[in-house]
Structure 1
Amino acid sequence: MNSYVKENCRLLSSLELPECDGPKLKAFPDRGSPITWIEPINPRSDQSLSGGQGYVFKVEINSKIYALKVFKFFKPSTYRGSLGPIRGRNVTDRELEFHTDPFYAECRAYAQIKAQREIQGLKRKYIAECYGFLALTKADERVLEEYGVDLWCDFPSNDPYRNRAEGSPVRALVKEYIEEDFDIDEGTLKHMMSGIKWMNRKNILVNDIHPGNFKGPYLLDLGSSWTKPHCLWENMSRRKMRVILQEDIRTFEEMTDDMGLGRRRSPRLPYRRESWAGAEKYH
């Protein structure tokens, strides 16, 4: 086992992740308990079990049913080209990984949501709950192989990063399993929109608004999210930031139009300094 794999093993045995500034998600309390794999969950009817950022399964842990998202492996330097020359020199691959790897992106977003809900005493829920992270056992990995899951499918066998990182623990998040179906009516749309706006105000950009990412009013996935502090924001012009801060709402309105549920669109959102506090310094 090389030093990089050992470091990944150490990280996945931590009590909270990621090890960088900003919000951190706690480990799943029962992460040492065996997992009973029930069936794959495929939220998008037009996709096979091919995965995007990962694969979702219905599982049972300690007699409770959960949705378990198992993440593909991710090259830390994937977004290196999005950094300018100065930030590109200063940001380490590990920091870039903690901010942009879908696994760590979800850890940070869910931790921010939990913290902000507790601060506000907020009871209303906008997103399926996340109960923590865990590393899969070798026995669990064999189950995935039986399902035909390849967590390295985005990398050729001779890829240098794959050669260095293969053997690292498989990462997963334990989430709420939402079984019931919901009618998409005006109240549901308002709830969905309120949730997106609330997350934006709490410094989370979802970056992935589409019908398959919702179960009724609840957002299911935050693998593409950006949560402050975030190294890519530190390299953006104020003009680009203004566009990005409006992107979730614009995409949601386009989604409802495409679903035939759209109503008269709201005016384009103005840039508000009181929203996304401190955003003006990222320029």
Structure 2
Amino acid sequence: MSQVRRTLRVRVRGQGFVFKALIDSKPFAIKLFKFFDIEEARALFVDFQNDEMPDDIFVGNVDPFFAECRAYGIMDEFHKKHLGKEDPGLITAPCYGYIYITKEQEASLRSQFSSLEWSRANSDADKQIRALVKQFIPNKPIHTKVTPIRRMVKDMRTLQGIGVYPRDICARNYRGGLLIDFGMALTEPSCVLNVLPEWMARKERKRTWVHLMR
């Protein structure tokens, strides 16, 4: 990151922080993730459910960083299948990959934004902060004549059809009519959906629609 603009820092519901950063003089949205607390996450499940989800599988599904990586990986495969066919267009804000924040960059951020808190446990002391690099989309109100709600609903149907369930659907997670946050997403195959009762798994898959239609 060659430059981070102080005025465009955005808190991301406990998952981390988003910055507008200039890379080679071009603006990008950089989402920096806090460290994942597996014990806190496991407390949401009962013992027999936790027994069915080994740590590595659980972290790979529930850690917000990996949740987003899984979601974008599935979307990337979806777009590859459409190469040479009818272009489905963007269904979410594009993600260009992940990066690790160096200790020097972290120190620079700390000096500029003293309130940043990374939830770093002792076991995370030597680990670098993880980040995703996404297309920067200005934060402007959705204009229904420019971005029809029906297109957003169609995009959501597409996501669910390929096994991506964002779950955290609200106005702040959209930019220009495109969904930008997948930190709470569940993706197929999902160890979480597998251990839930069927009625609850169906509810989680449909949770997206409840929020989108409000």
Contact 2:138–2:176 (Cα < 8 Å) also in 1: no
Which of 129, 132, 135 matches 2:97? 132
Helix, strand or coil: the match of 2:117? coil
Among 152, 159, 165, which residue is 1:199 paired with?
Answer: 159
Which of 1 and 2 has higher RCO (CA within 8 Å, sep 6+)?
A: 2
CA distance in 1, matches of 2:166, 2:92: 11
Ranges in structure 1 where 5+ consecutive residues have no aligned partner:
1-33, 44-48, 156-161, 255-283
Query: Aligned residue for 2:133?
Result: 174
Unaligned runs of 5+ in 2: none
After TM superposition, the structure 1 = structure 2 runs for residues 220-231 of structure 1, keeping only pairs within 5 Å, are 220-231=180-191
In structure 2, C-alpha distance between the alignment counterparts of 1:64 and 1:106, rounded to whole Å: 23
Question: Over residues 154-191 of structure 1, what are the superposed CA-to-partner deviations in whole Å (9 max), with x where a residue is unaligned?
Answer: x7xxxxxx122222110000000012735421652112
Amino acid aligned to 1:138:
K
Distance apart, 1:50 and its partner CA: 7.7
Residue number in structure 2 paired with 1:143: 108
**Number of residue-to-residue matches in the alignment:** 208
Any runs of at least 4 consecutive aligned residues in structure 1 with deviations exceeding 6 A, and if so which? none
Shift of 1:228: 1.3
Q: Give the TM-score normalised by the residue count of structure 2.
A: 0.87
Instruction: Quote the Cα distance in structure 1 between the aligned partners of 2:13 and 2:44.
Output: 24
- Distance across 2 between alignment mates of 1:183 and 1:85: 43
Shift of 1:113: 0.7
Distance of aligned partners of 1:83 and 1:150 in 2 relative to their CA distance in 1, 3 Å threshold: closer
One-letter amino acid of the counterpart of residue 41, structure 1 = L
Report what 1:37 is aligned to: 4
CA distance in 2, matches of 1:180, 1:53: 19
Shift of 1:65: 1.5
Describe the superposition over 1:204-235 as per-residue Cα deviations: whole angstroms up to 9, x where unpaired: 11010111001121111111101111111111
- Between the aligned residues of both structures, percent identity stands at 25
Find 1:119's aligned residue among 81, 95, 99: 81
Q: 1:64 aligns with which of 8, 16, 26?
A: 26
